[in-house]
């Protein structure tokens, strides 16, 4: 059982300090689930490493008194910062209050939070307890389309403004540590958004051979078998049109990793594209998200211009997550065309270290680092952050 004790934050000055501390605090089951990537974890590592391959070229003498992130809008919603919280499942394994603590920290900081479908606190509770939260719902489209729509309708009714459909998970990636230790949700916790669907808990605890599809056998984790049972393995672009016809919420596709899919997404009429490889947890050896971002931004701009029949402003926003650990990472992502940057694991580390206070501190640190990086590169506002701030390190090799 995770303690709800708070640790001393004063020596924790960056996100990797929180990670180190959290690794000492979390029970093995939870730590393995949170930290793991797929297969050999190449993409997991590269998401972080790729940011280091990009170098910042600062400008000077530009009056950076009063650097400000204010007035930034994401899909029409004014937020305190372009740094947002990505959906991560089952947060009560990190802290007794789970998603509620994260939501409270986000609301206090004016940060946007995308709530996972697979939460340990029901979406209604989040809406009721934290009414000021800028909240999005992350959605998995299940085989049972009625059950899927039920979650969407409940989110609409409870003030969620955007639905982020995760499209990179027709099956769960192979996470070796979860398989070795047969990861399953601890018995005192439940998937709260489905509390009234009688078989969910039972399916989740399935032991033995698991589903027929997707490969794998008896060694797989409880979660992987559960996803096999409920997840729609036959998703196509038609399901996005189907969702569009059933909701007035804005639609974001989370898990786009190619320019061609970005183009199809624009044609499908989505409101934004979220460049993500699920934190390196799905298909291993895909490129780091920050390296895919420029291609996708280009594809989106050209598809939007074509759709409008001329050169146009973007119109479809692009977000990115994966490996963002410092303010300079955020600055690079914004410079390369992201309108928002999401963080996954660092929030879980903050949660493990001290619930709401821990998450607040993680958000504060990253925002402080972003402001400082902006000032040191000659950017007073977010509109000063442009592509010429960033160069790939390989471009220096011809000296």
Ligand X SMILES: Cc1cc2nc3c(=O)[nH]c(=O)nc-3n(C[C@H](O)[C@H](O)[C@H](O)COP(=O)(O)O)c2cc1C
Among 173, 222, 279, 327, binds ligand X (CB under 6 A): 279
- In the beta sheet, which residues pair with residue 319? 274, 340
210 binding ligand X? (CB under 6 A): no
104 or 325: whose CB is closer to ligand X? 325
Q: Does 148 bind ligand X (CB under 6 A)?
A: no
Shortest spacing between CB 388 and ligand X, in angstroms: 26
Q: How far is the CB of 299 from ligand X (least distance, A)?
A: 20
Structure tokens at 173: 């990636």
- Annotated catalytic, 278? yes
Q: From residue 72 to residue 91, what is the string marking binding to ligand X with x (rule CB under 6 A)?
A: --------------xxxx--
Closer CB to ligand X, 254 or 301, in the complex: 254
Q: Please give the C-alpha separations between residue 213 and each of 149, 178, 183, 225, in angstroms, as whole numbers.
A: 24, 19, 19, 10
For residue 221, the minimal CB distance to ligand X (Å) is 12
Instruction: Choose the binding region for ligand X from 149-157, 259-267, 273-281, 300-308 (rule: CB under 6 A).
Output: 273-281
DSSP notation for 148-215: HHHHHHHHHHTT--EEEEE-S-SS----HHHHHTT----TT---GGGTTSTTHHHHHT--SS--STTS
Q: Is 282 in the site for ligand X (CB under 6 A)?
A: no
Nearer to ligand X, 322 or 337 (CB): 322
Among positions 20-49, residues that touch ligand X (CB under 6 A) are 33-34, 47
Q: How many Å apart are CA 399 and CA 392, to the nearest integer?
A: 14
DSSP conformation class of 137: E
Tell me: does residue 98 bind ligand X (CB under 6 A).
no
| Cα 63 from Cα 396, distance rounded (Å) | 28
Q: Which stretch binds ligand X (CB under 6 A): 63-71, 210-218, 262-270, 276-284?
A: 276-284
Minimum CB distance to ligand X, residue 116 (Å) = 3
Backbone phi and psi for residue 72, each to the nearest 5 degrees, phi listed first: -75, 135
Does residue 138 interact with ligand X by CB under 6 A?
Answer: yes
| Cα–Cα distance for residue pair 50/48, rounded to 1 Å | 6
Is position 367 an interface residue for ligand X (rule: CB under 6 A)? Answer: no
CA separation for the pair 31, 17 (Å, rounded): 16
Of 222 and 323, the one with the shorter C-beta distance to ligand X is 323
If one asks whether residue 324 binds ligand X (CB under 6 A), the answer comes out as yes
Q: How far apart are CA 246 and CA 227, in angstroms?
A: 24
What does the block give as tokens for 58? Answer: 């600062």
Q: Which of 135, 254, 332, 371 binds ligand X (CB under 6 A)?
A: 254
Residue 53 or 308: the one with the smaller Cβ distance to ligand X is 53
Binding to ligand X by residue 224, rule CB under 6 A? no
Calpha distance 82→366 (Å, rounded):
11
What does the block give as tokens for 118?
Answer: 């697979």
| Beta strands 112-115 and 134-139, pairing class | parallel
Catalytic residues: 278
Per CB under 6 A, residues contacting ligand X are: 33-34, 47, 86-89, 116, 118, 138, 166, 254, 276, 278-279, 281, 321-324, 343-345
């Amino acid at each position: 059982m995770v303690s709800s004790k708070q640790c001393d934050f004063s020596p924790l000055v960056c996100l990797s300090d929180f990670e180190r501390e959290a690794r000492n605090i979390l029970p093995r089951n939870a730590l393995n689930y949170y930290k793991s990537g797929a297969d050999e974890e190449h993409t997991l590592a590269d998401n972080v490493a790729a940011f280091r391959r990009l170098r910042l070229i600062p400008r000077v003498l530009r009056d950076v008194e009063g650097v400000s992130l204010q007035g930034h809008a994401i899909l029409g919603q004014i937020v305190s910062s372009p740094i947002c919280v990505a959906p991560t499942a089952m947060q009560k394994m990190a802290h007794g209050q789970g998603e509620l603590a994260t939501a409270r920290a986000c609301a206090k900081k004016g940060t946007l939070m995308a709530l996972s479908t697979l939460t340990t606190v029901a979406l209604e509770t989040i809406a009721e307890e934290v009414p000021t939260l800028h909240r999005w719902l992350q959605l998995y489209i299940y085989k049972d389309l009625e059950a899927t729509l039920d979650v969407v309708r409940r989110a609409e009714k409870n003030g969620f403004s955007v639905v982020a459909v995760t499209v990179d998970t027709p099956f769960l990636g192979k996470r070796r540590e979860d398989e070795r230790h047969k990861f399953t949700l601890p018995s005192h916790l439940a998937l709260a958004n489905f509390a009234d669907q009688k078989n969910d808990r039972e399916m989740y605890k399935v032991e033995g051979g698991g589903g027929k599809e997707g490969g794998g056998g008896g060694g797989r984790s409880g979660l992987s078998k559960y996803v096999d049972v409920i997840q729609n393995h036959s998703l196509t672009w038609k399901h996005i049109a189907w969702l569009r016809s059933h909701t007035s919420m804005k639609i974001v596709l989370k898990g786009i990793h190619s320019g061609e899919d970005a183009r199809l997404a624009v044609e499908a009429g989505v409101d934004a594209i979220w460049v993500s490889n699920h934190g390196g947890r799905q298909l291993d050896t895909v490129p780091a998200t920050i390296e895919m971002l420029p291609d996708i931004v280009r594809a989106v701009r050209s598809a939007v211009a074509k759709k409008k029949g001329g050169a146009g402003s973007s119109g479809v926003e692009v977000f990115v997550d994966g490996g963002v650990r410092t303010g300079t990472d955020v600055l690079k992502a914004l410079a390369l065309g992201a309108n928002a940057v999401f963080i996954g694991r660092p929030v879980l580390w903050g949660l493990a270290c001290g619930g709401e206070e821990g998450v607040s501190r993680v958000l504060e640190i990253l925002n402080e680092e972003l402001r400082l990086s902006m000032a040191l590169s000659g950017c007073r506002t977010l509109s000063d952050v442009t592509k010429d701030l960033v160069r790939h390190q390989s471009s220096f090799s011809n000296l």
